[in-house]
Amino acid sequence: MDQLFNRKYIVQGLFIVIALILLGKLFYIQIISDAAFVSAESNVLRKIYKYPARGAILDRNMKVIVQNEPVYDLMVTPNEVKPFDTLALAQALDITFEDVRKNLKKARGKSSYQATPFLKQISVQSYARLQETLYRFPGFRTQDRTIRHYPDSVGGQLFGYVKEVSPVDIEKSEGFYKPGDYKGKSGLEFSYEETLRGEKGVINTVYDAHNTPQGSYADGKYDVNAVSGERLISGIDMRIQKLGEELMMNKVGAIVAIEPASGEILSLISSPGYDPNLLVGRNQGNNYMEFIVGNPYRPSLVRPIMGYYPPGSSFKPVDALIGLQEGVIDPNTTFFCPHYYQAGNRKIKCEHFDGSISLRRGIARSCNTYFCYVFQKLITKNGMKNQRQTYQEWRDKVAKFGFGSKLDIDMPYERKGYFYTADHYDKIYGKRWGYTNVISQAIGQGEITATPLQMANAMAIIANRGYYLKPHLIKGIGDKNLVKKEYVVKNYVGVDARHFEPVIDGMQDAVNTSWGTAILSRIPDVVLCGKTGTVQNPHGKNHSVFIGFAPRDNPKIAIAVIVENAGYGSTYAAPIASYMIEKYLKGSVSGARAAQVEWMKNQNLLPVLKDKTKAVKLTKADSLLLKKADSTKRVKDSLRIKSATIKQTVTTKPKEFKSVIIDKPVIQK
């Protein structure tokens, strides 16, 4: 009996062991792990998001240029759906019977008890139609949100577009964006995403096991109201933005206009453009493929900030300014122009016959010889042995004008252009190189490329007589009209104001004298100063270029216009610029010029596609190739210099030259 009595302890011990096992597991799931707590919250809590309206964008005249439009997402909670008239729903939504079944299946795959999008971005019209019959489709409800609307249907590249976030966006934002959120993907929508997007609101609702709402969670303590995005005021003048896009219709190129005193961009046009409204709404994906990717003229290349063009003649005033500042020339310096400039074995042609030519006339007639001499004097001012050093100094001075680096415009994907340092030429030529090797830069050709934005900015510098403010699109953020600090700083370029007047004289003559290059682009009662450029390129017709500012005193607008493969600068680029300026300064283009505007709009200058694909795509790879070919050729040439006669070289070379500037007097129409 005693022995069996001990079995009591075995039984009691078993009880205790089991109790400890139970407590151990309880301790784990209640104290150690919080997985259950998280699951419990997600069981009962449903977050219903309230999407804020994105901030509007106004132009400089306070006209709304980007606004919002209400749309509706049709949401479905699959396990609340009862058999319904599929055909009726399809008709109400204007989709096919198959789509209804497909979307429903997709929603079921995501979650059966949570509302998921069935059809996104239903228009107001469809919504009105649907609203009447929605009661017949249990399980469906609408969620309102807003999409973008661009009233003027222009400025596709400028404004960019807004799109639902991708998984990559969500990951990058470290959880800020949730699936279903929208985000600016390019243009202003991208750069000012944080200002425009606003704050999402959330309503926490408690649901029971049958998915019936049971009121707000914690008395709404954690609910947040949606806060609309802040509005932006841009420097854009929609009147000239629109005119510019119309003028550039059926042309490839870019226009940038800047208000010199403030650095505000008045218009930024990339052609071919597109209607930004195409990239809104349900057809966004299809339209993107059709109109953006599908267009062989590549609208996705934002030419004003991404396109690389040799600055050509727009570079000559810069040359002159540095020459004046360095004292190698004065306003009265003349050079003899024998219709060409001889640099070692190379001949750079001039298209005018003047003989001895002064600075003022040199600029007005765009004399290549004059500026090659200026360049030569600049580089050799410390003797022939120090050319490398002086080149680097010259390069740094030019760089202050904004060439060869980004101007930090408030738009994504800006590129900086090519403008090489002395180190670069060391690599190509070794230590033995001089001004003759890099002479083409004197006339803005050869290895220097610039974006239209940089060219317009150079004009703003001249208009301001010596400084610029970083060009920017947005001049006021939110109700307080904040502006970024970097956009109110004057950047001086190191050239004294007094040196500008002689240069500006020349630019005034270019437009306003009978011997100028752009006299047809004269604007009545406005002194327009400018320069034409005709940039030859190896792949097709010349690019037509015009840069300028107006009026001469107290300038209001600086502009750069590039029309690719359009021929002479005076025929297309200069008139386009003058219409833009007249419209901006006077409000309209008047008189006979109004008819010319219509004529210009109707010009089709689209390059032939076969050539086009190569010519327009002056991509980095392309220009690198060109540059390489050009450089190696010159190395070879300089080695051959002793054995070959100049004549032979000249006869074999011209066609192989990458590009040559040919400025011509105006041809009468």
Partner 1 sequence: MQQQQGNRFFFNVDWITVLIYIALCAIGFVNIYASVPPEQTTVFGFSTLYGKQLIYIITGLILGLSILLFDGRLFNVFSPFIYGGTLLLLMAVLVIGNKVAGNQAWIAIGSFKLQPAEFAKFGTALLLARYVGAFNPKFRDVKSIMIAGLIVAAPLLLIMLQPDTGSALVFLAFMFPLYREGLSGYFLLIFLGMIVLFIADFLVPTYILIIIITTIAGLFIYNNRRKQKIIFSTVLVTVFAIGYLFLIKIAYEKVLAPHQRSRIELMLGLKTDNKGAGYNVIQSQIAIGSGQGTGRGFLQGTQTKYGYVPEQSTDFIFSTIGEEWGFMGCSVVIGLYMFLLLRLVNLAERQRSTFSRVYGYSVACILFFHVFINIGMTIGIIPVIGIPLPLISYGGSSLWSFTILLFIFLKLDSNRMGFI
Q: Which residues sit at the interface with partner 1, rule CB under 8 A?
A: 4-5, 7-8, 10-12, 15-16, 18-19, 21-23, 25-27, 29-31, 33-37, 39-41, 43-44, 206-210, 214
Question: For residues 71 and 135, is the Cβ–Cβ distance under 8 A?
Answer: no
DSSP 52: P
Q: How far is the CB of 134 from partner 1 (least distance, A)?
A: 27
Residue nearer to partner 1 on the CB measure, 49 or 207: 207
Burial class (CB in 10 A: 0-12, 13-18, 19+), 571: buried
3-state helix, strand, coil in the chain (%, to 5): 45, 20, 35
Mention every residue, 6+ apart, whose C-beta is less than 8 A from residue 442: 315, 319, 368, 371, 372, 374, 375, 376
Indicate the residue among 26 and 639 with the shorter CB distance to partner 1. 26
Least distance from partner 1 to the Cβ atom of residue 246, Å: 60
Of residues 214 and 286, the one with the C-beta less far from partner 1: 214
Those residues with Cβ within 8 angstroms of residue 505's Cβ, 6 or more apart along the chain or in another chain: 360, 363
- As beta bridge partners, residue 119 has 74
Q: Which is nearer to partner 1, 25 or 110 (CB)?
A: 25
Amino acid symbol at 2: D
Listed in sequence order, the DSSP H helices in 495-567 are 500-512
**CB neighbours of residue 209 within 10 Å:** 8
Cβ proximity to partner 1: between 217 and 394 the closer is 217
User: Sign of dihedral through CA atoms 269, 272, 276, 280?
Assistant: negative
Instruction: Give bridge partners of residue 68 from the DSSP assignment.
Output: 148
> Two tokens at 620?
């980095």
Minimum distance of partner 1 from residue 406's CB (angstroms): 53
Per DSSP bridges, beta strands 334-337 and 355-358 are: antiparallel
Q: How far is the CB of 107 from partner 1 (least distance, A)?
A: 17
456/99 Cα distance (integer angstroms): 51
Residue nearer to partner 1 on the CB measure, 215 or 327: 215
Q: Which CB, 38 or 482, lies closer to partner 1?
A: 38
Neighbours of 467 (CB within 10 A): 18
CB-based burial of residue 267 (10 Å sphere; 0-12 exposed, 13-18 middle, 19+ buried)? buried
Closer CB to partner 1, 16 or 168, in the complex: 16
Q: How far is the CB of 1 from partner 1 (least distance, A)?
A: 10
Smallest gap from Cβ 138 to partner 1, in A, equals 21
Least separation in angstroms between CB 81 and partner 1 = 17
Shortest CB 211 distance to partner 1, Å: 10
Judged by CB, which is closer to partner 1: 133, or 214? 214
| Least Cβ distance, residue 44 to partner 1 (angstroms) | 4
Minimum CB distance to partner 1 smaller for 18 or for 667: 18
Looking at the Cβ atoms of 22 and 488, the one nearer to partner 1 is: 22
| Distance from C-alpha of 427 to C-alpha of 635, rounded to nearest angstrom | 12
**CA separation for the pair 566, 188 (Å, rounded):** 30
Q: How far is the CB of 78 from partner 1 (least distance, A)?
A: 13
Counting every residue written for the chain, the total comes to: 669
**Cβ 11 to partner 1 shortest distance, Å:** 6
End-to-end CA distance of the chain: 131
3-class SS of residue 187? helix
